[in-house]
Amino acid sequence: MVGILLAPYNDSMRLGQGYNSFLHTPCVHDAVKIEDDNIVTKPADQAGKVSQVVNYTSRFVDKISEVAKSMNVSAGSSIKNGGIIASGSTLTLDEAKFASSDLNAIVSVKVINQTTEILDSAIFEPMQGIYFNSEKFFNIYGNCYISGFIEGGDFTAILSARVLDIANKGDVERALFPRIKSQVNSSGGGETNFTLNEAAGTSAISSAMSKTESTITVSWSGGGQIKPGELAYMMDASFDAVTLYSYLLAENEEWTLETLYKAAAAFPAKVANCPQKTWAILTPYNHTKNFVAWAEKNDVRIPQFDVAQVFTSDLLDMYMEYKNCVTRIQAVLTNPLDYVLSPVPDAVGISVRELLNIRKHMKLQMKLISRDVDKIAMHPENVDQIESASSIEPPELWSNRLPILRKVANDGNWTPAQAAEELAKFSFAASAPPKGPPASATSSTPAPTLTPQSSLNNSIEASLASVQQSVAAAASHSPPAPIEPSQPAPCSPEVEQSMTEQEKSILLSAAGRNKFRNYRFDQTVGSPGGGFFSDAIELTNSLAPIAWPQRIEIHMVRWDTSQVIGWIKTAYEQMVLTRGNDRGHSLGSIVLNFAAEEYITKVRLAKGPMVWGAEGIAFIEITTNTGRVERLGDSAGKQVVETSATSEYTGLKGFYGTSGDIVDRLGPVWGEGAL
């Protein structure tokens, strides 16, 4: 089938029908005139009793576009359809599994029993009374016509394996796919033998697969029921209820490597008994003599898509990667407590608003990819210009920044607080005391002898007492009971006096006092321009407790003749908060990656000169509880405001203030560790 232009068959296809080979869409019927006498059906191999041509491939793949190419599915149609569709059914490929797997392999078996095609050139018959230009012709007729059909079978399997220990990747790759060899015996009756390479032992494959987490996806046309054992059950008229039950179980079993290999080996024989149309043969209109003359006369040009296939395949890979990212975001939105921030810089947070905004942005990128496909479909000769002008962002910029699954299994190093938290999920209620009056203290009953069983009971009681103490200690750190409506202001009177009316309405209202009762807002520096922000709002809205910041980035930008803070990024385990305009050009920055239990205890700030209605922050100095000091900006000749944590609010949780093109106004928000 090398060199033949093919498209997956579906029941709507007819000989002589126009077709768009780039998007795999059918066009007008009877695009060319075909005489019945010119249609011939030929077996694949006229010398044999069973006529078959079998092509087997087994290889590792890195891109989804390679899967589409192996199935004769165009990359353009896969983008427009949102998935790989072949032979009228969607290959249920798990893009997330494919993208996250260390190894992806494809096993393909293509079988040709016979072909039905046109003997002589068809005659192109244009519609009368209609003026055609190149675009109109392509929309109605496509760029080729269906000149034949191939009957046989097509089997495709995708194996995606994530190696549990990356050090074993090479061993798994070598053992995963033993060679499957195809042998056609044309001298002895035409039987097709399709056998596994016995040199690769089953035990080696089983050992390799035990080191992976794998998924197998299978799609086929022709051959009927192909799982090993299924056809035997169906053909055996004498099977009993037990056999029928076994068949039903086999029908619903998941694919394994063993059943995959057996099905691939037996597929040609099953196709010989149960073939079906699998592909349509496509012929470009330029191969038809009278069309060439007609097109020259009417100045009609047929698009040539060969030059655009590489870029379109790249677009498909980007589209599927974005689709995978959107799926991952939905998983985070569904179960946010199961995810934590990615360890890379600029990690995407777990707040609902941020995830929804990023998902919207990714769907926009997918639309841009689809639009580029539409442009290529009309003018493939302009593919270089289309690629150069494309504004699509590489999905790799996002994929590594998305939240990752929290490690479920504990490494065995339980702290007392963690142990108490886990044990608190279980009930350790003691048995009810025996009924009746208590025994007299002066009872003459001798003391019981200490037996192994009573010793065990005493140990259990001692353990329960220890557990109850740990649970009580853990409970002391749980969120407090609902607060009374009248709460003190989350700031000092001096800070309250310096607040703007907007800050007071948000932070000092009855709702604000309750909401921010665990935080302390300190003195701000700068002018009240831009929009209000408070990291405490996102922290209190989080579904999971938020500990100290893990990373803080502060960047300076040019503000007329001075330098002020352009933006601040504060990263927590669950989210990243950006204040200011991070699209500016950074003139200098400090990046603080905090060690475990390291947090900020002092912040010194100084404002800049009034420029364009804003002062901004010209200087910041940060001190941590470990004695580390970081500075950014110039404090010379400026009034520096110093703020510090207290014994009750021991460290910095975030910032509040206003921001727009720069950080106009900034103040620290103090609090405790996990709130």
Confirm if 385 and 610 have CB atoms less than 8 A apart. Answer: no
Taking each helix axis from N to C end, the angle separating 202-209 and 257-273, rounded to the nearest 10 degrees, works out to: 120
Per-residue pLDDT tens for 309-337? 999 999 999 999 999 999 999 999 988 88
* Whole-number pLDDT of residue 630: 95
258 and 383 in a common domain? no
pLDDT tens digit sequence for 618-660: 999 999 999 999 999 999 989 999 999 999 999 999 999 999 8
DSSP class of residue 142?
B
Q: What 3-state DSSP class applies to 43?
A: strand
**pLDDT greater than 50 at residue 186:** no
Among 377, 405, 433, the domain boundary falls at 405
Please tell me what DSSP assigns to residue 287: G
Q: Is there a single domain that holds both residue 244 and residue 98?
A: yes
Whether pLDDT at 247 is above 70: no
CATH number at residue 659: 2.100.10.30
> Are 250 and 269 in a shared domain?
yes
Q: What average pLDDT score do residues 21-45 get?
A: 82
Tens digit of pLDDT for each residue in 478-510? 555 444 456 889 999 999 999 988 889 889 988
Cα distance between residue 109 and residue 112, in whole Å: 10
The model's confidence at residue 476, banded by pLDDT at 50, 70 and 90, is low
Q: What is the pLDDT of residue 87?
A: 59
Q: Which of 36-40, 436-440, 590-594 has the highest mean pLDDT?
A: 590-594
Does residue 202 sit in the same domain as residue 231?
yes
More confident residue, 305 or 98: 305
Give a yes or no: residue 277 inside a domain.
yes
pLDDT for the residue numbered 62? 86
With a CB cutoff of 8 Å and minimum separation 6, the contacts of 35 are: none
Examine residue 418 and state whether it is found in any structural domain, yes or no.
Answer: no
Distance CA(550)–CA(596), nearest Å, equals: 8
Q: How far apart are CA 398 and CA 326, in angstroms?
A: 10
569 CB-contact burial (10 Å; exposed 0-12 / middle 13-18 / buried 19+): buried
Is 450 contained in some domain?
no
Pairing of strands 562-571, 576-580: antiparallel
Q: Per-residue confidence at 172, pLDDT binned at 50, 70, 90? A: confident
Q: Domain range spanning residue 351? A: 307-405
Write down the pLDDT at residue 468: 57
Tell me whether residue 431 is in a domain: no
Is the domain of 174 the same as that of 296? yes
**In the structure, what pLDDT confidence band is assigned to residue 425 with cuts at 50, 70 and 90?**
very low
458 in a domain, yes or no?
A: no
pLDDT (average), residues 413-420:
51
Q: Do 296 and 390 sit in the same domain of this protein?
A: no
First-to-final CA distance of the chain: 65
**pLDDT(474) > 80:** no
Which of 405, 421, 440 is a domain's end point?
405
Residue with tokens 């891109």, as numbered in its chain: 63
Q: What is the pLDDT of residues 77-94, one digit of tens each?
A: 999 988 887 654 555 677
Q: Which residue has the tokens 């694919």?
A: 255
Higher pLDDT, residue 253 or 218: 218
What's the mean pLDDT in 584-600? 91
Contact 255, 264 (CB under 8 A): no
The three-state secondary structure class of 498 is: helix
Same domain? For 127 and 190 the reply is yes
pLDDT(193) > 50:
no
Do 218 and 343 fall within a single domain? no
Please report whether residue 74 resides in a domain.
yes
| Span of 127-136, 274-283, 392-401, 485-494 with lowest mean pLDDT | 485-494
Residue that is last in its domain, among 284, 303, 322: 303
Give me the DSSP letters along 194-245: EEE-TTS-HHHHHHHHTTEEEEEEEEEESSSS-STTHHHHHH-TT--HHHHH
**342 & 287 share domain:** no
Structurally, the chain folds into a number of domains equal to 3
Half-sphere exposure of 207 (CA within 13 A, CB side): 9
291 and 331 belong to one structural domain: no
pLDDT for position 191? 40
Provide the mean pLDDT of the chain: 80
Residue 469 lies in a domain: no
Q: How far apart are CA 504 and CA 81, in angstroms?
A: 53
Percent of the chain at pLDDT above 90?
Answer: 39
State how far the Cα of 74 lies from the Cα of 12, in Å rounded to an integer.
18
Query: Do 212 and 348 lie in a common domain?
Result: no
Distance of CA 476 to the CA centre of its chain: 39
Strand locations in 522-639, DSSP E?
Answer: 525-526, 531-534, 551-559, 562-571, 576-580, 588-593, 600-607, 617-624, 629-633
Residue 438 pLDDT > 90? no
Lowest mean pLDDT among 234-243, 371-380, 396-405, 597-606: 234-243
Amino acid present at 222: G
- Please state the pTM of the whole predicted model: 0.60
pLDDT grade, residue 291 (50/70/90)? very high
pLDDT value, residue 439: 45
Q: Assess contact for 621 and 503: CB atoms under 8 A.
A: no
Choose the most confident range, by mean pLDDT, from 4-18, 175-189, 359-373. Answer: 359-373
- Residues with Cβ within 8 Å of 578's Cβ and at least 6 positions away in sequence, in order, are 567, 568, 569
Selected residue with higher pLDDT from 192 and 28: 28
Residue 287 has pLDDT above 70, yes or no: yes
CA dist 562 and 548 (Å) reads 32
212 forms beta bridges with 163
Q: Cα(571)–Cα(99) distance, rounded to whole angstroms?
A: 26
Q: Is the pLDDT of residue 231 over 60?
A: no
Percent of the chain clearing pLDDT 70 (strictly above): 75
Q: Are residues 650 and 581 in the same domain?
A: yes
Most trustworthy range by pLDDT among 190-204, 283-297, 458-472: 283-297
Question: Which range, 243-252, 270-279, 420-429, has the best average confidence (pLDDT)?
Answer: 270-279
pLDDT over 60 (residue 444): no
* Distance (Å, whole) CA 323 – CA 117: 39
- Whether 425 maps to a domain, the answer reads no
Q: What is the dihedral of CA 381, 385, 390, 396, to 10 degrees?
A: 80
Residue 665, pLDDT > 90, answer yes
